[in-house]
Amino acid sequence: MATAFFSIPDIYFGDHSLRFLAKLSQHKVAIVTDAFMASSGKTQELIQAMPDARVAVFSEVTPDPSVDVLKAGVKQLQHFHPDTIIALGGGSSLDAAKGIKVTLEDYDQSQKIELIAIPTTSGSGSEVTSYAIISDPANGHKYPLISKELVPDCAILDPQLVMSVPTHVSMDTGMDVLTHAIEAIVSTGANDFSDALAQKAIALTTMNLPLIFQNPQDIVAREHMHNASCMAGMAFNSAGLGLVHAMAHAIGGMLHIAHGRANAMLLALVIEFNAKDNNAKTLANYHRCAQMMGIKEDSDTAAIAAMVRMIRFFNQRFGIANTLIEMGKNSAELEALRPSIVAAAQNDRCLASNPRSVGESELSELFNRVAGLSG
């Protein structure tokens, strides 16, 4: 096995783990978040946990943050000189905070800023990864930035913060967790450390996501999913991702579809595509994923087929459409966007660690299938 990288920030988890913030009472703390978090009282809850800190709040993060959001955050916080940045929110807020933090440090290289990530959704895993997804609205692209400098110093996983997340958002983000873990296991960069966390994340997601769908107030299931999201993040941060994410970044960026939902729609299709290569290692890895989902089939082929059926059952149960046309997208628009989506997917950095090589014609056919433009 080639030399690999694995990192783990300090992680505080469990009910009311926000109490850890008391250690910041003498610090200059910038909170990076969105308008909803600022107005809902969540930001104030953080401020109350560190009563003697000097606090500035940047609350202009938008979904799929662009370079303009990062510039606005840097402009507001540059003269505050924070020694700590707290990222509060979903993946967009966490990614924006990462970009703001490294930009501030680049402007003043004597400044070292501690980054604390507090996710309020169970999905992106951004609280422990070297990834940040930044959008370019001018051309509809999403760019995955990857750098060790983007790994937070600390993550706080408090299940109280995800109790009010709407069910449909919880299902989208939960399927994102499943996708992260499965892609990490079959990735060309998979290793013993990433496998251990990815397998546990698959098992926790399979067991607990349906429980949250049945009862969104199940705090035990919420805590398990929050932990699974973090574990899957650590796994793919080391192992890499694959074709599902390469296509989801392109489709989500150009069609404005939630990232987890795009992943969920693509996951079964990509598993089938990768498995058709009949690579023994890939088949065995997918079989392990199926076993973590509770599937008890002896052969690789039968186990993978059962896993694909289970993923499609989850999507149907959680209200996730099979195709983009089912979602209400226009077929003419999809045809017009096909070249741009295929090109963006082909250039996505996540594609490099997919277990099967994929060319332009194969990407086009996969797009046909997820769009609903062919059988």
List, for residues 277-328, the tens digit of each pLDDT value. Answer: 999 999 999 999 999 999 999 999 999 999 999 999 999 999 999 999 999 9
Q: What is the pLDDT of residue 262?
A: 97
Determine the average pLDDT of the residues in 183-197. Answer: 97
Burial state string for 295-325 with b = 16 or more CB within 10 A and e = fewer than 16? beeeebeebbbbbbebbbebbeebebbbebe
pLDDT band at 253 (very low <50, low <70, confident <90, very high): confident
Determine the average pLDDT of the residues in 195-207. Answer: 98
**Prediction pTM value:** 0.93
- The bridge status of strand 114-119 relative to strand 154-157 is parallel
Q: What is the pLDDT of residue 131?
A: 86
Query: Over 60: is that where the pLDDT of 1 sits?
Result: no
Determine the average pLDDT of the residues in 15-25. Answer: 90
Query: Over 70: is that where the pLDDT of 71 sits?
Result: yes
CA-based nearest residue to 374, from 337, 327, 324, 302? 324
Query: Over 90: is that where the pLDDT of 146 sits?
Result: no
Query: Over 90: is that where the pLDDT of 195 sits?
Result: yes
Show the tokens assigned to 103: 């930009």
Query: Over 70: is that where the pLDDT of 209 sits?
Result: yes
Determine the average pLDDT of the residues in 336-346. Answer: 95
List, for residues 93-133, the tens digit of each pLDDT value. Answer: 999 999 999 999 998 888 899 999 999 999 989 999 998 98
Show the tokens assigned to 138: 């001018």
Residue 164: burial class (beta carbons within 10 Å; 0-12, 13-18, 19+) = exposed
Show the tokens assigned to 305: 């087929």
Q: Which amino acid is at 263?
A: N
Query: Over 70: is that where the pLDDT of 4 sits?
Result: no
Q: Say how far apart CA 208 and CA 293 lie, in whole Å.
A: 11
What is the crossing angle of helices 167-186 and 259-275, to 10°?
A: 30
Query: Over 80: is that where the pLDDT of 3 sits?
Result: no
Q: What is the pLDDT of residue 94?
A: 95
- Per-residue H/E/C for the chain: CCCCCCCCCEEEECCCHHHHHHHHCCCEEEEEEEHHHHHHCHHHHHHHHCCCCEEEEEEEECCCCEHHHHHHHHHHHCCCCCCEEEEEECHHHHHHHHHHHHHHHHHCCCCCCEEEEEECCCCCCHHHCCEEEEEECCCCEEEEEECHHHCCCEEEECHHHHCCCCHHHHHHHHHHHHHHHHHHHHCCCCCHHHHHHHHHHHHHHHHHHHHHHHCCCCHHHHHHHHHHHHHHHHHHHHHCCCHHHHHHHHHHHHHCCCHHHHHHHHHHHHHHHHHCCCCHHHHHHHHHHHHHCCCCCCCHHHHHHHHHHHHHHHHHHCCCCCCCCCCCCCHHHHHHHHHHHHHHHHCCHHHHHCCCCCCHHHHHHHHHHHHCCCC
Measured CA angle at 92 (ends 369, 66), to 5 deg? 85
What's the whole-number average pLDDT of the chain? Answer: 94
pLDDT band at 7 (very low <50, low <70, confident <90, very high): confident
Q: What is the pLDDT of residue 120?
A: 95
Determine the average pLDDT of the residues in 36-61. Answer: 94
List, for residues 264-274, the tens digit of each pLDDT value. Answer: 999 999 999 99
Q: What is the pLDDT of residue 2?
A: 59
Q: What is the pLDDT of residue 39?
A: 93
pLDDT band at 139 (very low <50, low <70, confident <90, very high): confident
